[in-house]
Amino acid sequence: MKPLYLFHGEDSYTAIQKALHWQSQFRQKYGDMNVETFEGADLTAEKFAEAVSTLPFLSDKKLIVIRNFFKDAEAEELKKVSEKLDHIDENCIVVFAETQKADARTALFKNIKKTGEIKDFPLMDKPQLADWITAEIARLNAPISRSQINILADTVGPNLWQMKQEIEKIALFCAAANSATDNSTNNPAASPTDKEIENLISPNLQTSIFRLTDQLAQKNRRDALKTLKTLIESGENLIPIMFMIVRQFRILIQIQSCAQKGLGTPAIIKKIKLHPFVVSSGLKQAGNFSPEKLKEIYDKLLKIDIGTKNSKIKITVNDATELRLA
């Protein structure tokens, strides 16, 4: 093994779980005394130097895991720690684990890349996400169908932190429903309906914006208003919702423009610097609009966005609910 690692990426859940798995494996093999953990905000260069130079206790290996150092440490501390990487004892393994992408411009990032290994965890695509959900519901014995797995994937998206919470919520619902029935005959756990799944899970803003855009493309006003209403009732503020809708149509204009110039998906991803999942979904959505229609909608959305911010426009999502921003 190399002495130095960085786990980071858009899929921060998997990055952190990887570090936790290493901690568990090291404890089993080398004992608790040879696993040391730090929170990035609390770590100083002096503490780092002491930890990495201390020999393992009655063992030949030691693991140090530092969580969110790139995210929470001061720039000066990042620089100081970077200068002490050469002092890591040969029997010591250091893992930096981040809940967001680390800044590749820092000296610490560059030095880890030079002497260690950087593991970047990208967001899962939909098939990978469906497989992950399948494994998780099997682990928690939550009997949901393949179509309900797709509902979860489409509604929550690739944020595994939220997805884990939603699956645990569904598992508790299934367990409660099953305990309310007669289990004397060892019947299988009761399966929730699609409607119950939809009512249980909280919508993810980004994936809801994707769905709302699809509904607008299909001129499905009723469902578009329903999606907007669900977002607002889940606690989302109207200003970030409008920002995300405007952003989504701006992305569609960019994607459509690139496609019309003959660029393929990899080239579009490289040019506009967005996740492959966003680009592939955007290509499908952009195909539902003419360039003129996209620009017309985008211009109208900009006016609505500005109007809601200065209270000149009010938005009503049903006959009983009128939303006005102060």
DSSP code string of 291-302: HHHHHHHHHHHH
Distance between the two ends of the chain, CA-based, in angstroms?
58
CB 123 within 8 A of CB 14: no
Residues near 264 by Cβ (< 8 Å), separated by ≥ 6?
none
| Nearest CA-CA partner of 151 in 172, 171, 175, 167 | 167
pLDDT of residue 211: 82
Helix, coil or strand: residue 248:
helix
| DSSP string for 77-139 | HHHHHHTTGGG--TTEEEEEE-SS---TTSHHHHHHHHHSEEEE-PPP-HHHHHHHHHHHHHH
pLDDT of residue 183: 53
- Give the chain's mean pLDDT: 86
Q: pLDDT tier at 321 (50, 70, 90 boundaries)?
A: very low
Q: pLDDT tier at 189 (50, 70, 90 boundaries)?
A: low
Residues facing 322 on adjacent strands: 316
Q: Is the pLDDT of residue 230 over 50?
A: yes
Quote the pTM value: 0.73
> So where are the chain's domains?
4-120, 126-200, 205-323
Would you say how long the chain is, in residues? Answer: 326
Q: Is the pLDDT of residue 154 over 90?
A: no
The CATH number, out of the four listed (3.10.450.50, 3.40.50.300, 3.40.440.10, 3.10.20.30), of the domain defined by the range 4-120: 3.40.50.300
Q: Say what percent of the chain tops pLDDT 90.
A: 49
d(CA 228, CA 208): 8
Cα–Cα–Cα angle for 152, 214, 122, rounded to 5 degrees: 50
Q: pLDDT tier at 228 (50, 70, 90 boundaries)?
A: confident
Q: Which CATH class is domain 126-200?
A: mainly alpha
- For the stretch 3-13, pLDDT in tens is 999 999 999 99
Q: Is the pLDDT of residue 235 over 60?
A: yes
Whether domain 205-323 has CATH 1.20.272.10: yes
Residues near 324 by Cβ (< 8 Å), separated by ≥ 6?
311, 314
Please indicate whether residue 132 or residue 319 has the higher confidence score (pLDDT): 132
